[in-house]
Amino acid sequence: MRAASGDLRCQHSGYERRGLLLLLALLLQSCSLEPPEMINPVTWYAVNGWNAPVEFRIIDRVCNRRLGNIRLGVREEIAVTSCGNEANQAQIRYRRDSAYATPWSDGSAREGQRLQMQ
């Protein structure tokens, strides 16, 4: 619509503004979501079974979610907390993250147990 001075003005409808506000509210809400609750959390220790620093991809098979990549130095171990089954045992799948396609390995650990990952 032209104003009296001859310049063009952009008029937004109320629907566009409401849509933008709704989108902004949804984006802010997604940032404040907490991670899913762990079922029977079990803390175990991933131990590097190689003679070199390595990185592993780990999947929690009980909660069916990725635990992320864990980087371990030579003879290093790190505490990992994952979901436990009805017997309070963590069940995971892991593989070495490298340039070569390495097969997935299955592992299980109880509270405080060390799992040597190779």
CATH number at residue 75: 2.60.40
Tens of pLDDT, residue by residue, the chain (118 residues): 555 555 555 555 566 767 777 777 666 665 544 556 778 899 999 999 888 899 999 999 999 999 888 999 998 999 999 999 999 999 999 998 876 778 999 999 999 999 998 8
Is residue 64 included in any domain, yes or no?
Answer: yes
Q: Is 52 helix (H, G, I), strand (E, B) or coil?
A: coil
Is the pTM higher than 0.85? The answer reads no
Q: Which residue has 């992320």 as its token pair?
A: 68
Domain count, the chain: 1
Q: What is the CA radius of gyration of the chain?
A: 25
In a domain, 106, yes or no: yes
